[in-house]
Amino acid sequence: MKELTLPASRANIPAIIEFVNRELEHMDCDLKTKAQIDIAIDELYSNIAKYGFDDDGGEVTVTLETASEPRVVSISFMDGGRPFNPLERSDPDITLSARDRKIGGLGIYMVKKSMDDVRYEYREGKNILTIRKVL
């Protein structure tokens, strides 16, 4: 397991993507899957940084675990921000036009559709959101 802890700032998204992509390259991850994972990281970390903390901010620990049989990557985001389970939100009605659809929820919907598993738990005062992708 590899781990990276950074301040909850959207400015740190490139560092997290680079951290994960280094490992994905060792696993011969295809470009489409890598792009899906990068988008999920961007969406999830952006939401944590924007909504998870008050003005004084906080830190987010990203852990990365891989397996070779089958080839799987699991990425967890752990933070001490406000408890929030994004998986409890109802999915947006994507049959509506963007103009008629309510704001919010589309990003987590895309993450749920592009990852093989998305889980949330609140444990010991921490939000833990984990995405899993079979490569």
Q: What is the predicted pLDDT for the residue at 69?
A: 87
pLDDT of residue 6: 97
Which pLDDT score, from 0 to 100, does residue 96 have? 64
Mean pLDDT of all residues in the chain?
Answer: 91
Q: What is the pLDDT of residues 90-131, one digit of tens each?
A: 766 676 676 776 766 667 989 999 999 999 999 999 999 999
pLDDT at 133 over 90: yes
- Write down the pLDDT at residue 95: 66
For the chain, the C-alpha Rg in angstroms (whole number) is: 15
18 backbone φψ class: left, alpha, beta (φ>0; ψ -120 to 50): alpha
How far apart CA 56 and CA 74 sit, in angstroms, is 29
CB 57 within 8 A of CB 7: yes
Q: In this predicted structure, what is the pLDDT of residue 54? A: 83
Task: Give domain limits for the chain.
Answer: 2-134
Q: What is the pLDDT of residues 70-87, one digit of tens each?
A: 999 999 999 999 999 998
Q: What percent of the chain has pLDDT over 70?
A: 90
85's tokens: 């389970």
Of the two residues 90 and 47, the one the predictor is more confident about is: 47
Q: Against a cut of 0.85, is the pTM above it?
A: yes
Q: Between 2.60.40.10, 2.40.420.20, 3.30.565.10, 2.40.128.20, what CATH number should domain 2-134 receive?
A: 3.30.565.10
pLDDT value, residue 56:
76
Instruction: Return the ∠ at Cα 6 (arms to 64 and 105), rounded to 5°.
Output: 75
- What span, in angstroms and rounded, lies between the C-alpha atoms of 102 and 113? 19
